[in-house]
Each structure stands twice: as C-alpha cells, then as structure tokens.
Amino acid sequence: MSDLTTLQQTILADIANASDEAALEAVRVGALGKKGSISALLATLGKMSPEERKTEGAAINLAKDAVTQALTARRDVLKSAALDARLASETIDVTLPLRDGPAELGRIHPLSQTWDELTTIFADMGFAVAEGPDIETDDYNFTKLNFPEGHPAREMHDTFYFNPKEDGSRLLLRTHTSPVQVRTMLSQQPPIRVICPGRTYRSDSDQTHTPMFHQVEGLVIDKGSHLGHLKWILHEFCKAFFEVDNVNMRFRPSFFPFTEPSLEVDIQCRRDKNEIRFGEGEDWLEILGCGMVHPNVLRACGIDPDVYQGFAWGMGIDRIAMLKYGMADLRQLFEGDVRWLNHYGFKPLEVPTLAGGLST
C-alpha cells in the first residue's frame, strides 16, 4: 500500500469520525488547507519529472477529489443532523386555545338581518325602499288613510301621542309604516313600486305585543296592477324569504280602512316545538294583510282612482323573523341580552345575497 493510499484512508476515516461541522473543518484544513497533507503532496509535483508528474499528479488529484467529495457528503449529513437537532428542541404547545377574532365575535341583530333579506328579495322584483319619520301627523297616519273620525285606532289606548301644540294639533308615533306610502304618493308620480320598512309603535304590551315593533309594507301604483299580481308577489316573496320550494297560501277577504277589497293571508305550516315548517302541515298561520289601495286613499294623495290603481300589503318584520328563525319571545328582541344576541344573531360576513342564499 502506497503512502498516498494510506493517507487517503486516514483522512477519509477522520472525515467519517468527525462528529460536528467544526471537527470536519479541522479535517478539511488538515488535508486540503494551505499546510494540509494533500496540499503538501501537491506542492511536491513541481519538483518532479514530467512523466512522474503525470502519474503521481493524477494519483494525488484522485485522492484530493475523493477527500473533497467525502467532505461534502459528510458536511451535508452533519448539517442535516444539526438542523434536526435544533428543530427537535424548538416546540410549541399547539393546543393553546385561540382567541376569537372580531369577525367571529361580532353579531348582526336578527332584525337587521331580516331587514337585509327583505330588501334583497324585493329589490330583485324592482322595488325601491322608501322611509319616513317615526313622529308623524294625524293626517298622514290616519286621515289620508281613510280612518274615519272616532276610529278606535285613533284613541290614546292604541296610539302614542305627543302633547298638543298651540293650534290644537298633536303629533303621534306612527302606528304603521303606511304614512310612508302617503308620503311616497304625494311626492312621486305613478308608476310607484316601493317597500317601506320601518319602526312602528302601539300602546300595547304583553306576551305577543311590544310597544315598539317593525313593519314592512309594499305599495304598487300604476294603470294595471291587480290582485292577481299581488298574490304572485307575496307568493314569490314567501318562497324566497322562508327559503322553501313551495308555500301554500290562503287569501281570505278581510277589512282594513285603507284597502278595498282587503285580504288577509295565511300560510300553511306544521308547528313542531319552536320550529315551523312551511309548505306542509295542517295549521294556517296568519302573516300579513293586503288589498287594493282604497280609492279614498288615492284621492287623498292626489291620484285619480279611475285612472290609477294599485295594491299594498303590510307585515311584521319581527314576526316573520321570529317565524323563520324560531325565536319564541318577542320581547327578547329588544332586551340586548348578549347571550340571546350571540345565539340568534348573525356573523358580519353572513350577508344575505340572492346568489349565495339568504341565510346560508
């Protein structure tokens, strides 16, 4: 065995035995450094004859290549082992509980959600949204809507009034959103197609009534709208709002001062504890009142009832929200109980859309 071979084996053995990158570097310097053993052999080449140099040079270079390769390989192994060792010491507790982000914590009140759902559905049918003040005149809330003098709804029993003004007139809190219809008809030429959602008030408080509640009314005035259209709109609305393939609706003749003919609408349902299923069952649940706008109302709003006609409807937003989402007690809607709001409320990114579904 030549010296070179012995040297190479010794170096390779040292490489294999190097336990970390520093030891390996010492081996490299000892072999390939300026004063390294292989570098020293290479330095001897200059003193050799060309033939000798040819054979010896090739042999030394082979040995150098072998050492270089072994160094690289060993370095990769040691580097990888060192990384593994470091990573093995770097651990975290992945079971630490997270804190809810704001988009998880925040809630939209079910009434706001329902409001957005209604608007989305009716906007698609071409309805604009009209609003008016909560504090109204007797004229807009009653007289122009064909409530006769002495009608029970005008009593202090039913309606919240403010104190009389010097001229004897007194303002009131609107008892329905119909004054918005009046305001719309007085300020706009037909054709009219609006919904009027809003807050309304009646002097009433028990299990199923709160002195403040919310209504949405619809109004259509043009030259050809009739009860058949009204039926269709309400049917489409109920299907869309309750998110069912079909609802069975029952239209019954009824009476309201501001519509003639007047109808009440029931939807068929099955009640099961706090859940109500629509489109099946034996029960009829009243959900809204509607009818053709009374000629006296049209006249009071400057519209000729022999030229124009139209219909209107009204329903309780609180009520349909409770039906849809299974909320049992009306009063809880206004109590601000965070437990209730967290449970029945909606997350801010749950925005009702027609494309994505109202509540999914």
Q: What is the number of other CB atoms lying within 10 angstroms of the CB of residue 340?
A: 16
> What does DSSP say about strands 172-173 and 135-136: parallel, antiparallel, or unpaired?
antiparallel
Contacts of 263 (CB under 8 A, 6+ apart): 227, 251, 252, 253, 254, 289, 290, 291
Residues within window 321-340 making contact with other proteins, judged by CB under 8 A:
333-339
x/- mask, other proteins, residues 192-211, rule CB under 8 A, reads -x-----x-x-xxx-----x
Q: Classify 92 as helix, strand or coil.
A: coil
Q: Counting contacts by CB under 8 A, is residue 247 touching other proteins?
A: no
Q: How many CB atoms lie within 10 A of CB 166?
A: 5
131: contact with other proteins by CB under 8 A: yes
Q: Which of 21, 25, 56, 134 binds other proteins (CB under 8 A)?
A: 134
Residue 215 interacts with other proteins (CB under 8 A): yes or no: no
The residue among 16 and 105 lying less far from other proteins, judged by its C-beta, is: 105
100/275 with CB nearer other proteins: 100
Quick check: 124 binds other proteins (CB under 8 A)?
A: yes
Q: Which stretch binds other proteins (CB under 8 A): 11-19, 34-42, 54-62, 221-229?
A: 221-229
**CA pair distance 207, 212, nearest whole angstrom:** 13
Least Å from the CB of residue 71 to other proteins: 42
CA distances from 194 to 12, 227, 298, 303, 322 (A): 91, 17, 15, 16, 24
Taking the complex as a whole, how short is the minimal distance between the CB of residue 277 and other proteins, in angstroms? 22
212 touching other proteins, by CB under 8 A: yes
Is 248 a residue that touches other proteins (CB under 8 A)? no
Q: Decide whether 84 or 222 has the Cβ nearer to other proteins.
A: 222
Q: Does 78 bind other proteins (CB under 8 A)?
A: no
As a whole number of angstroms, the distance between CA 53 and CA 118 comes to: 96
Confirm or reject binding of residue 316 to other proteins (CB under 8 A).
no
Would you say 164 or 326 has its CB closer to other proteins? 164
| Closest to 100 in 3D by CA, of 360, 348, 323, 294 | 348
The reply on whether position 92 binds other proteins by CB under 8 A is no
Residue 119 binds to other proteins (criterion: CB under 8 A): yes
What's the closest the beta carbon of residue 197 comes to other proteins, in angstroms?
A: 9
Q: Which listed residue (10, 33, 264, 325) binds other proteins by CB under 8 A?
A: 264
Instruction: Classify 283 as helix, strand or coil.
Output: strand
The verdict on 282 binding other proteins (CB under 8 A) reads no
101 touches other proteins (CB under 8 A): yes
With binding defined as CB under 8 A, does residue 144 bind other proteins?
no
- Does 35 bind other proteins (CB under 8 A)? Our answer is no
Mode of pairing for the β-strands spanning 192-201 and 128-129: parallel
Phi, psi dihedrals of residue 89, rounded to the nearest 5°: -90, -10
Q: DSSP label at 47?
A: G
Number of residues binding to other proteins, judged by CB under 8 A: 92
How many Å is the maximal CA-CA distance in the chain?
134
Q: Are 136 and 171 in contact (CB under 8 A)?
A: yes
Cβ-based neighbours of 248, under 8 Å, separated by 6 or more:
267, 268, 279
Residue 155 amino acid letter? E
Would you count residue 168 as binding other proteins (CB under 8 A)? no
Our finding on whether 94 is near other proteins (CB under 8 A) is no
